[in-house]
Structure 1
């Protein structure tokens, strides 16, 4: 595929996988009924409790067990591991899911697992005394984020486009990979000019003070589900009952986190982190507010994926028609929230017009 985009904006090149690569993976296999695997390999996030981990602790996974194989700091890397069979599911922002599917990787998005709302959002923060006040002030500046070619870089590009910067001007803004646990410190030491902070790490930094937001993804696009868990078509075909148990459990955990008093959710998460014995600090968990999933039980509407299909096609990263929604996601394994989904908000637009 030919494109005029610069190397800086070659989106998600690390996901240049093929169906051949996936077929060579070591995906857990089973058959129908009792032959299906009941153990799911996955990657976690240091100091955080993922929805599958919460679902397991709540007993929603029933006899399905999670097998932790390590931590990740990158959604694209996480779904790459799932696609190649190193793990059985992975999660990433929806643009990465679209790009992976565009490379003819046989995967399906099965449930939304995080998003942006008034409590859960990614903010782009500068020091309180920073001269950066507008998008144009970012020219030549360094923006620290957890990984390139994912949600944080996409939001940055949309922000810059909407503020009228040209492609050449956008290329002068430098996104840098900084581990999430080091991002706040890097900003305060002035090693970067802007820090992308979300969730617990954001609220902890705000509580310390001395920083201010330039913009947030919630301000940019409103409330929306931003990322999905994916499984390979091969896994879903061979282990449909296991997949249904897993996806439904995650959906139930989403609703449990919404309807349970926040203090109780935090206490449960703290207990989970302590029990798993990974030498993690539980103090930041007190800043948790929400997973930010827009739809009831994480059911996928299609709009949250179409957003990125359109945007990536507009950029020239994928061809128009290269990815279709019918091939990209399924709610067939999500029994949670059936017949009771909350009305979907209009799909946010990633168009460069507007503000």
Structure 2
């Protein structure tokens, strides 16, 4: 079946997860022989000519408009209302209260995005979510998970990270804790920093924390860095603007991934950790528990000392780390690229099947 699929995203940028997904989806569409254009409302010059302006999109009635919806997207509601064939994949829209004090513009975009979600999802021929959590939150029944491509990250490396004097595993009084994700208030880097400070004070005085990600703005990034330096000193590192190879190296050198986020629609870094054989510890917020399944140690206990204790247990128990590695590999099979690609293709074909009379 020859189909033309035009993609729509709110903003196209060099480090944005939605942009990365759109480029992966286009690669699949090319493999399937499906034509179409990729468009965005806001386009960062660093992405080159891969995206055209949404204003230039004039789809034929037989074309499918495929929108990834993660924030207020001007013009999208009007396009969907006037076009007979559409698939809207809601990735995640963070509640605005997390941003008002730190980035009012982002807060406004989230507020408008959540307010418009009902209209946007309701106008879609097929509405979908990237996780069951997101689908249910925004009134959809179709789930199209994040397209995870392990080959982009290279080889996982050894099961156990090198320890002192060539031994395997973390040192008895240390270990590197990693978190990957945009520096935003809802991801609770502050709680993560305080948790590692407790880990150092109570269990492992040489434990270190490395966070990787671009900040929602420079001011918030400075706040996170200041807290990290205050509570952890030289045991704190913040990396940004990494290449894919550099990111892979950070995963290979870490001992555990810790996610303290309060709101996640999916959380790709969990799958990345599983790929690299990293155990995962954290909170079961949003889609985290759904993605991690039984392959992570998650607790909704509000006391940070409990998470610090879990980190100490994982870092000190080689048998537990091995078990979590095996469970993580099993979870990766659930999110196999072929499975996700099949879900995406089925959803697009369902759009076409529901509108057979379009000419």
Q: TM-score normalised to the size of structure 1?
A: 0.30
- When you count helix as a share of all residues, which structure comes out higher? 2
Q: Which of the two has higher C-alpha Rg?
A: 2
Q: TM-score normalised to the size of structure 2?
A: 0.30
Larger relative CO (CA 8 A, sep 6+): 1 or 2? 1
